[in-house]
Amino acid sequence: MARSGRELRTTITEDGMLRINLETLPVPEPAQGELLVRVEAAPINPSDLGLLFGPADMNTLKAQGTVENPVLTAQVPAHLLPAVKARLGQSMPVGNEGAGKVVGAGSDLQHLVGKRVAMIGGAMYADYRLITPESCIVLPDEATAAEGAALFVNPLTALGFVETMRAEGHRAIVHAPAASNLGQMLVKICQADGIELVNIVRSQEQADLLRGIGARHIVDSSTETFAQDLENAIADTGAMLGFDAIGGGEMTSTMLNAMEAAAARKMDSYSRYGSSTMKQVYIYGSLDTGPTILKRRFGFTWNLGGWLLFSFLKRTDPGVAKRMRDRVRAEMTTTFASHYTAEISLQDALRPEIAAVYEKKSTGEKYLLVP
């Protein structure tokens, strides 16, 4: 085993320079209760990009450093610096989840050496990761690292939506953008569980893709009839719970207004306060970091909140959380299979022309880091 490994780090300096580099660190020795994993694959999720690039201007990406020791830099506009005040000057590791081979273990965990595991916990964009078994899923022997790399964030988020639906007494879900890796998982979960799902896509190609895996209610936000189509789909399904990963712009507002219009169809008489049907939307991502615009034609019986996997897991019954994990393990190559646009190395990730592409967060495009 190597004596040292690389770890990708991101820093924003006090004067607004983003700096991404590969730190060389000694490989740690696993203590009791710890595993040392050689990272083989880690997806670049939208939630990783927020930490990786912060609010940097992607038009200012620049390669610096040397071939062995590359550095990627970019400028953070001065007016956006206050938003990241708390991280200024700190060299931060990145990578929420990944998969790899156990290459070392504390004396109590020697039986896991040689196994491949899926992991969650940050700092996965690295050659090695010291971790506890609680943050791992031990994979079947035949599983590849690519198959195990993304078994936490998207699968548990998609399952978390369904658990949230049950906990809050809803019976159907609206989701946008629905053609993402996560969206496809949600289609399969809802199909298996008999839950009506309204899928909001942004193109005909995405609609075709979802129809191909069995989605029934698909509305295309790029068409002129979108608002009306959405209202009809919500009226058909009774979906008064929405999850929106776009965040900025009018998607949440459009969902709430369509829910209200669908609810109003069943009202006997006019109320200036709107329908008494509770309409709930969660923003769970921020693909568009611009302002959320709420055109409140949806009365006073509504709720909009942030939804975060880690908070959800914290407040969820451990039995439910275990059931979710067990399902992910059992369906890792079916429901929860991810598809990658390309595999890139740690050094590739620091090349401006490659960073400019994977940073775009195009729906359905996903990159896999292979250290």
Binding site for a second copy (CB under 8 A): 47, 50-51, 83-87, 90, 92, 247-248, 253, 264, 267, 269-273, 276, 283-284, 286, 289, 291-297, 299-308, 310-311
Nearer to a second copy, 4 or 90 (CB): 90
Nearer to a second copy, 27 or 294 (CB): 294
Nearer to a second copy, 28 or 305 (CB): 305
Nearer to a second copy, 223 or 276 (CB): 276
Nearer to a second copy, 21 or 206 (CB): 21
E strand or H helix at 90: none
Distance CA 12, CA 53 (A): 9
CB neighbour class for 348 (10 Å; exposed up to 12, middle 13-18, buried from 19): middle
**Least distance to a second copy from the beta carbon of 206, Å?**
25
Nearest to 338 by CA among 205, 177, 145: 145
Nearer to a second copy, 43 or 247 (CB): 247
Residue with tokens 């006997």: 268
Nearest to 134 by CA among 294, 322, 8: 322
Nearest to 285 by CA among 206, 175, 186: 175
Distance CA 338, CA 188 (A): 13
**Least distance to a second copy from the beta carbon of 205, Å?**
29
**Least distance to a second copy from the beta carbon of 194, Å?**
29
Distance CA 82, CA 101 (A): 40
Distance CA 130, CA 328 (A): 23
**Least distance to a second copy from the beta carbon of 156, Å?**
15
**Least distance to a second copy from the beta carbon of 260, Å?**
10
Rg over alpha carbons for the chain, rounded to the nearest Å, is 22
**Least distance to a second copy from the beta carbon of 55, Å?**
10
Nearer to a second copy, 23 or 288 (CB): 288
**Least distance to a second copy from the beta carbon of 53, Å?**
11
Residues comprising the chain, all counted: 371
Distance CA 202, CA 329 (A): 31
Q: Which residues contact 169 (CB under 8 A, 6 or more apart)?
A: none
